[in-house]
Amino acid sequence: MEELKKAFDAIASRYDGQRRFIIPQMEEFYEAAVWAADWPGNNPAILDIGAGTGLLSALLLQKYPMGNFTLVDISENMLDIARARFDGNPHVHFFVADYSRDEIPGKYDLVCSALSIHHLEHADKQRLFQRIYSILKSGGIFVNADQAEAQSSWLSRKNLLYWDSFVAKHPFPEDEIRAVIKRRDTLDKNAPLFDQVSWLSDAGFRGVDIVYKNRIFCVFIGRKE
Ligand SMILES: C[S@@+](CC[C@H](N)C(=O)[O-])C[C@H]1O[C@@H](n2cnc3c(N)ncnc32)[C@H](O)[C@@H]1O
């Protein structure tokens, strides 16, 4: 986890500027997550797991301006950017922690995450899904917008080629591309999507489903009844 924290601390100030060159269909991907994050009231308690600089929370805040947000991340530098983004908003709270190990206080109506949980070992992903289930209130939804492995090595390779050709199309400095690929090779631990959705069901979630998929970029959800 120390290596991951260091990597995100180091990239924090350049992170937001790079995203659109790294995530294919970035808007559609995040929009699907926000669309799926539904709550009948106007001030849900929302937990953003691995919130980073707050990209996902910023979009959720447009949908739920009265929402009560908790952003958790292990990288202080990433969260500092989020602090600046939400400066003056008394309903946005920040929590520096390793969400795979540390206790996450509170109960939530919506637990959302973007591009973070794929950094955990698979057993830790499964444990986290169980913990998310336990901190969700009844009727709450977990939305995970994340990377997932294909079911076959043939498609995995094809997905990586798709991703590389997307990155190559953009005016992105060579050394930054190398850094992105290094992060991907050392820090990403993508699990197959079908495994992940069954881990959600095993954790007790109902209505488990996939609401978006573009190669490795997926948004999948589960509801606590
Ligand atoms: C690729 S960034 C995504 C940030 C943000 N959610 C977004 O969509 O832009 C991954 C974030 O997850 C955080 N992260 C990864 N594993 C973590 C863990 N175990 N505990 C807390 N934060 C973690 C990293 O520090 C980083 O800020």
Q: How many angstroms does the Cα of residue 50 sit away from the middle of ligand 1? A: 4
Return the axis-axis angle of helices 174-187 and 153-168, rounded to nearest 10°.
Answer: 150
* pLDDT above 80: residue 171: no
- What CATH number corresponds to the domain at position 142? 3.40.50.150
Residue identifier of the C-alpha nearest atom 18 of ligand 1: 98
The pLDDT, as a whole number, for residue 173 is 80
Percent over 90 (pLDDT), the chain: 88
Residue-number span of the structural domain to which 90 is assigned: 2-223
DSSP helix/strand/coil, 67: coil
Residue identifier of the C-alpha nearest atom 4 of ligand 1: 52
Encode pLDDT of 211-221 as tens digits.
999 999 999 99
Residue identifier of the C-alpha nearest atom 19 of ligand 1: 98
The pLDDT, as a whole number, for residue 10 is 93
User: What's the structural domain count of the chain?
Assistant: 1
Average pLDDT of every residue of the chain: 96
The pLDDT, as a whole number, for residue 172 is 75
Specify the higher pLDDT residue, 142 or 182.
142
Q: With a 6 A CB cut-off, is 116 part of the ligand 1 pocket?
A: yes
For residue 41, count other CB atoms closer than 10 A to its CB: 10
